[in-house]
């Protein structure tokens, strides 16, 4: 498709509707960031998504946009419940890949002398890496319970407290999960991966609050300068990956019967009101719940590890969950489209929800300030805490960016890192890192990603989410 890109203002670019496109494409970006976007296929993917049946509003992309499977990563699209579709490629392989941020009563100066020991302790306690398994081995009945109950299952088993649940998107349980639609392969892959971090861009990071931008919202979130925080980035592991793979294959095999043409076979989809569409959403909800339970358990083990390593009790550590958000999901939500309030299915792939102050889906503790939005940086650079703004509901179906966004493929990053010691380079900056292999560090080196500060500035200026605090890494564990 011949892509014509028009700049609307300092933060927004449009791909005008043409050919089979049903709506315009709308990209949130800057003059600097759009340069990288033009070098891959992600703009074509924005236009391709705009051709799908039932799409409403715009085919959207956040400033961390880059090429993905079917949909671009950083893509957002909403579909009419009667005439629209659901696409596994619009959710992604790692269903409910997301972030969880915890605050503590620790100050950075207290733990800096023992940071290397803390990272070693976490690396020993938290299972990481491709195909990693943990000490939990679920029976089929238990795995079914996890898939339906989500984070509540973990809390009921003693991993955390009931108060944690109100600080998780959807209270950590997505409705509509039905384990009966899952393949035996998916169930098998999920049996012993609960409580594992995974590999790639997943991490557990000890950070310090480096800068406050909005004092009122920071106080509401429990953040202050110099404070130690912990950020966990993980998802549904092999369980979610297999669910995505199963339904992509099934839908792709049936697309020849569809009454519409696909510009890309990776956009395989099903009508939302079809049996296939309903089964996918039920399976996706199982994976989303698994991911929330996974991060709940990881948080609990992190707290136990820090208590042991620092020889302090839970009260002295004072770890509290600030919020947990998901990045890869499709949700039935109520939005205003062309002046009418309607229920649509919002796909967020490499994008996160950003609800504004007063939104009824927000927990009471954050109702006045807006939803905490967690934006992890690439390894070795800043992460950000934002708060959802009114503009997100008006422009992006309540969505914003989810991270920095890659500019180099993993293969190119590995090639560029040849002969370098990424581990040593980070340690020279005061950041201690442990990973299962050197390849992961090369694939995830800072140069492989966009400047997260520029990405965050775009969503701040576009009024999708406002800056609250900046977090600087002190130590990281990776797969």
Cβ neighbours of 430 (radius 10 Å): 12
**CB count in 10 Å sphere of residue 80:** 18
* Residues β-bridged to residue 204: 232, 477
Place of tokens 């012993």: 192
Which one is catalytic: 347, 402, 423, 460?
402
First to last CA, the chain: 38
Contact call for residues 350 and 62 (beta carbons, < 8 A): yes
Query: For 416, left (φ over 0), alpha (ψ -120 to 50), or beta?
Result: alpha
Q: Is 145 left (phi over 0), alpha (psi -120 to 50) or beta?
A: alpha
Contacts of residue 387, defined as CB under 8 A and 6 or more positions apart, other chains included, come to 214, 217, 221, 357, 369, 370, 371, 372, 373, 465, 466, 468
- Of 16, 17, 20, which is closest to residue 5 (Cα–Cα)? 16
The pairs formed by 27-32 with CB atoms below 8 angstroms and a separation of 24 or more are 27/60, 27/61, 27/63, 27/65, 28/60, 28/61, 28/62, 28/63, 28/396, 28/401, 28/458, 28/459, 28/462, 28/464, 29/61, 29/63, 29/65, 29/458, 30/63, 30/454, 30/457, 30/458, 32/454
For 5, 135, 143, 150, 285, the CA distances from 192, given in Å and listed in that order, are: 47, 8, 9, 16, 19
Is residue 423 part of the annotated active site? The answer reads no
Region for residue 387 given its phi and psi (left: phi exceeds 0; alpha: psi -120 to 50; beta: otherwise):
beta
Rounded Cα gap, residues 433 and 131, in angstroms: 20
388 is written with which tokens? 């959802």
**In terms of Cα–Cα distance, which of 182, 174, 96, 98 is closest to 144?**
182
Q: What is the largest CA-CA distance in the chain?
A: 65
**Contact yes or no for 202/233 (Cβ under 8 A):** yes
Pairing of strands 25-28, 55-66: parallel
The distance from CA 392 to its chain's CA centroid, rounded to whole angstroms, is 17
The catalytic residues are 402
């Amino acid at each position: 498709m011949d892509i014509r890109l028009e700049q609307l203002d300092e933060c927004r670019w449009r791909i005008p509707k043409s050919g089979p496109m049903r709506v315009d494409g709308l990209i949130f970006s800057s003059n600097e960031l759009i340069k990288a976007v033009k070098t891959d296929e992600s703009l074509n993917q924005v236009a391709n998504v705009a051709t799908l049946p039932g799409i409403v509003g715009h085919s959207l992309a956040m400033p961390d946009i880059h090429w993905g499977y079917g949909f671009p990563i950083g893509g957002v699209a909403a579909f009419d419940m009667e005439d629209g579709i659901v696409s596994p490629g619009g959710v992604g392989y790692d269903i409910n890949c997301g972030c969880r941020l915890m605050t503590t009563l620790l100050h950075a100066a207290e733990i800096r002398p023992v940071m290397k020991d803390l990272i070693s302790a976490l690396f020993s306690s938290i299972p990481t890496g491709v195909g990693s398994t943990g000490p939990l081995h679920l029976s089929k009945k238990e795995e079914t319970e996890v898939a339906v109950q989500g984070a509540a299952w973990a809390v009921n088993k003693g991993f955390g407290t009931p108060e944690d649940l109100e600080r998780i998107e959807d209270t950590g349980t997505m409705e509509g999960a039905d384990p009966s639609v899952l393949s035996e392969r998916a169930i098998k892959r999920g049996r012993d991966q609960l409580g594992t971090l995974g590999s790639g861009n997943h991490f557990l990071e000890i950070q310090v609050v480096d800068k406050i931008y909005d004092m009122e919202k920071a106080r509401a979130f429990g953040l202050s300068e110099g404070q130690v925080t912990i950020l966990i980035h993980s998802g549904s592991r092999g369980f979610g990956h297999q669910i995505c793979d199963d339904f992509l294959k099934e839908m792709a095999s049936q697309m020849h019967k569809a009454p519409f043409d696909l510009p890309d076979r990776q956009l395989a989809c099903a009508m939302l009101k079809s049996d296939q569409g309903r089964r996918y959403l039920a399976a996706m909800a199982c994976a989303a719940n698994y991911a929330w339970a996974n991060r709940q358990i990881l948080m609990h083990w992190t707290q136990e590890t820090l208590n042991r390593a620092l020889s302090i009790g839970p009260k002295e550590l004072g770890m509290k969950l600030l919020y947990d958000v998901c990045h890869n999901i499709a949700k039935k939500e109520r939005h205003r489209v062309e002046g009418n309030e309607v229920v649509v299915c919002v796909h967020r792939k490499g994008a996160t929800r950003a609800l504004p102050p007063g939104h009824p889906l927000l927990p009471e503790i954050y109702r006045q300030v807006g939803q905490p939005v967690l934006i992890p940086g690439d390894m070795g650079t800043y992460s950000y805490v934002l708060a959802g703004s009114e503009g997100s509901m008006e422009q992006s179906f309540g969505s914003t960016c989810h991270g920095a966004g890659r500019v180099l493929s993993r293969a190119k990053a590995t090639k560029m890192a040849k002969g370098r010691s990424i581990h040593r380079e980070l340690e020279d900056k005061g950041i201690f890192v442990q990973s299962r292999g050197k390849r992961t560090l090369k694939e995830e080196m800072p140069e492989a990603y966009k400047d997260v500060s520029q990405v965050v500035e775009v969503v701040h200026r576009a009024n999708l989410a406002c800056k609250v605090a900046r977090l600087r890494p002190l130590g990281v564990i990776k797969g």
